[in-house]
Structure 1
Amino acid sequence: MGEAKGHVLFFPYPLQGHINPMIQLGKRLSKKGLTVSLIIASNIHREPYTSEDYSITVHTIHDGFFPHEHPHAKIKDPPRFNESTARSLTDFISRQKLSSNPPKALIYDPFMPSALDVAKDLGLYVVAYFTQPWLASLIYYHINEGTYDVPDDRHEDPILASFPGFPLLSQNDLPSFACEKGSYPLIFKVVVSQFSNLRRADCILCNTFDQLEPKVVKWMDGQWPVKNIGPVVPSKFLDNRLPEDKDYELGDSKTEPDESVLSWLANKPAKSVVYVAFGTLVALSEKQMKETAMAIKQTGYSFLWSCRDSERSKLPSGFVEEALEKDTGLVAKWVPQLEVLAHDSIGCFVTHCGWNSTLEALCLGVPLVGMPQWTDQPTNAKFIEDVWKIGVRVKTDEEGFASKEEIAGCISEVMEGEKGKVMRKNVENFKVLAREAISEGGSSDKSIDEFVAMMT
């Protein structure tokens, strides 16, 4: 690794989908010589620990909640969370500035704009790091600027929305918070306030790459000091320049791949298995879970379903047991998703279209069947289907419900239809572009090198 050139603080929003991209960028910066402190806001104090493979130390600061309160309570009470973390972050940075290797910069998640003000006031170089794509974040920007007005009712005024560098978007293509005034009021404020003080940031990073969103990136370049540094997917599945980087963990509690899942896949023909996963937060209704299960059964394809215990009870009675008995499917509560997507047996990925899952599928050349639920997922699904053409979006009724016939038809189209062949070719092309971007001399690698140079 060589001698440490500079000390950088990372401050992710404390949800796994935001923490993981921060960890991955931290690994890249560590291997290029920087010392990284990863600060996690939590209601449970843990002693600092340092990764064996990287010069990354993880610290916790208090998030303003008590240990008995639910970890997601911060989402329901943003003022309490922001006020407490601002105080805790101030104390942490002040102590670090007195250390033998004081920090030069704070890389923060714009979901916590107060972190920018804290770091600026304490004299640090401040970097905003968007872990979601520009295609969603820019919609929040236009809402904050007043150049897009969220409709009062998504059904009364189904107009097409137009943004620089975007295709026209219907109401169903917008992030869920931008469809109708008053929906998700607390989270709406969080996502829009990302841009409340962003002009004060010295640099802006994003987990995307230039070739993925070229029109949007071109517009952004005229507005902000932007560097795209993605995709920050573990190196083993991209450029392999960090061969020990096989997952999103830091080595203190590495989870070994579930060999039973991988062994089951090993007995399946190439491109024959439908992989189903809806992320760590999405909870489908019981009716939708049952309908999705019946759709998968109807297609006749083998399937692997990553299904949390809280969701498993929503599946049809006997569904899991029948699939096991006939060896047509496997429902597992935890699946090593990167290992699975990289497996030859996987034919398509039925997904909620979260950004991390979308990037992983793209980087591993797996076409998608999108069932977006909320946040940025509908917009991601629009680009997946109509811009990148690497998958299809399942159509729903006015209540957002997808029928088994619709789901089954989409899966069959991707697995063996004519359009599916085009999608597979397109996603293979993006797989190449993603690897080129993060490999030595690629656009994202150059952006990372430029940032490291600023810290020396």
Structure 2
Amino acid sequence: MPAVVEVARAHGLRLAMYWIQPATVLVAYYHYFHGHGEAIASQAADPACEVTLPGLRQPLRIRDMPSFIVDDGTGAGSDLSKLILHGFRQLFGQMDEQEMMVLVNTFEALETTALEAIRPYLESGVFAVGAPTVPLPGAGDKNERVHLFAEDDKKGYVAWLDAQPARSVVYVSSGSLLTYNAREAEQILLGLRQLARPYLWVVRREGRSPEVDRLLLEEAARAADGMVVEWCDQVRVLSHPSVACFVTHCGWSSTLEAVACGVPVVAVPTWSDQPVNAHLLEEEWGVGVRAERDADGVLTSAELARCVDLVVLSGEMATAVMANARSWKDKAREAVATGGPSERSLRSFVKMVQELDEFARRAEEILSTSPSYP
């Protein structure tokens, strides 16, 4: 929101930016606007082309970049991409003009390389304060969490989860914005049936078509092993011992919650930072696998079933994914523990603000007693 910077400047307020995407995305945007934009744009038509950005451990393919900087201008979302990219361009221009501290919703161990890569360019300070920035189960009362939608357990999904065997449930959610068309919903249902596993699927009421409603009614009439809900407490679900894997759109909040809860992931990214997050989940952290869409951009039933099997059945990949998921869960808990890295980082940010305030106060005192002070 570039206008916020202008408001802060007009009122003489010090400004810190809260970056709600991964530090890796911060690196990608920074270098896109500082010398790498043309190189990235020239390769945008080739999803497999690799681009090396300063400081990152490995190159990012075009398909793994934030969607707004690799939109070739021909897609249905190109106008929106241009609008959002213009906003980011303004923001990074303002960051160049004005010293701006940056708080990032990540933790040091998770994105060490990306945080080290961006700090030399943002000398006012980059502080990793997340992992995620929501209370985890066992870290406090559940009422401390704020939910985007009204809490609703009319269907009793928690009791249903309690009745399922350990590591059996496939949890499917596309977040708070995306909706399904009829073919997308049909393919997901067919894939879940093929898996023959209990499933919990979140399908929001908003924007749901009559065709999707019909499919869901037919599924309910089948006395299926699954449950479809309009809302759930995602952290509570991901923390439940019956959940085997998470089929996710790879929004950053969902990504962090999966990592913090130690749940293997099937990544199905669409736009914005989601392709980067899918890359991190699969290739950097090794906690899941990225599903491929068909020519129409749909996750097919066969691909859904294939990917879930890869991360939950016995086998070399599933074993490695589960081990990595447990390891990152432990590191996330360490990060948000009292006195842990995220708290120390936040305290160092507060200390820096206090020191800057004290410096400004003393400078004002000196200037006010100077004969030449106007």
User: Normalising TM by the smaller chain, what interval?
Assistant: 0.7 to 0.9
Question: Normalization by structure 2: what TM-score?
Answer: 0.83
Q: Is the 8 A contact 1:144 1:193 kept in 2?
A: no
CA distance in 1, matches of 2:23, 2:267: 19
CA distance in 2, matches of 1:428, 1:190: 38
The residue matched to 1:125 in structure 2 has which SS?
coil
Q: Is the 8 A contact 2:41 2:72 kept in 1?
A: yes
Identify the residue that residue 4 of structure 1 maps to in structure 2.
Answer: none
CA distance in 1, matches of 2:277, 2:332: 17
Identify the residue that residue 265 of structure 1 maps to in structure 2.
Answer: 161
Unpaired runs of 5+ residues, structure 1, are 1-111
Q: Is the 8 A contact 1:128 1:201 kept in 2?
A: no
Identify the residue that residue 15 of structure 1 maps to in structure 2.
Answer: none
Matched, 1:343 2:240: yes
Matched, 1:129 2:18: yes
Identify the residue that residue 176 of structure 2 maps to in structure 1.
Answer: 280
The residue type paired with residue 424 of structure 1 is M
CA distance in 1, matches of 2:94, 2:268: 34
Q: Which of 50, 66, 69 is equivalent to 1:175?
A: 66
Unpaired runs of 5+ residues, structure 2, are 355-374
Which structure is higher in strand share?
A: 1
CA distance in 2, matches of 1:324, 1:272: 22
Distance 1:324 1:435, change over 3 A: farther
Distance 1:433 1:313, change over 3 A: farther
Identify the residue that residue 303 of structure 1 maps to in structure 2.
Answer: 199
Q: Which of 398, 403, 424 is equivalent to 2:322?
A: 424
CA distance in 2, matches of 1:157, 1:280: 27
- Name the larger-Rg structure: 2
The residue matched to 2:247 in structure 1 has which SS?
strand
Q: May I ask how many residue pairs the two structures share in their alignment? A: 341
Q: Which of 113, 119, 137 is equivalent to 1:215?
A: 113
The residue matched to 2:50 in structure 1 has which SS?
coil
Identify the residue that residue 374 of structure 1 maps to in structure 2.
Answer: 271
CA positional deviation for 1:269: 0.5
CA distance in 2, matches of 1:295, 1:327: 13
Distance 1:399 1:270, change over 3 A: same
Identify the residue that residue 8 of structure 2 maps to in structure 1.
Answer: 119
CA positional deviation for 1:192: 3.6
CA distance in 2, matches of 1:267, 1:157: 43
CA distance in 1, matches of 2:261, 2:133: 10
Identify the residue that residue 405 of structure 1 maps to in structure 2.
Answer: 302
Identify the residue that residue 77 of structure 1 maps to in structure 2.
Answer: none
Report the RMSD for the aligned CA atoms in angstroms.
2.5
The residue matched to 1:326 in structure 2 has which SS?
coil
CA positional deviation for 1:166: 4.3
The residue matched to 2:283 in structure 1 has which SS?
helix
The residue type paired with residue 362 of structure 1 is V
CA distance in 2, matches of 1:132, 1:331: 29
Distance 1:191 1:455, change over 3 A: closer
Q: Which of 190, 198, 203 is equivalent to 1:294?
A: 190
Cα deviations by residue, 1:299-330 (Å, 9 ceiling, x for unpaired): 11110001012336454845544446534011
Question: Normalization by structure 1: what TM-score?
Answer: 0.69
Q: Is the 8 A contact 1:161 1:171 kept in 2?
A: yes
CA positional deviation for 1:420: 1.7
Distance 1:318 1:257, change over 3 A: closer
Counting only pairs closer than 5 Å after superposition, residues 164-203 of structure 1 correspond to structure 2 as 164=54, 165-182=56-73, 183=78, 184-199=81-96, 200-203=98-101
Counting only pairs closer than 5 Å after superposition, residues 91-130 of structure 1 correspond to structure 2 as 112-130=1-19
CA positional deviation for 1:365: 0.9
CA positional deviation for 1:395: 1.4
- Identity percentage over the alignment? 31
The residue matched to 2:156 in structure 1 has which SS?
helix
The residue type paired with residue 27 of structure 2 is L
Q: Is the 8 A contact 2:136 2:235 kept in 1?
A: no
Counting only pairs closer than 5 Å after superposition, residues 34-73 of structure 1 correspond to structure 2 as none
Which structure is higher in helix share?
A: 2
CA distance in 1, matches of 2:65, 2:85: 13
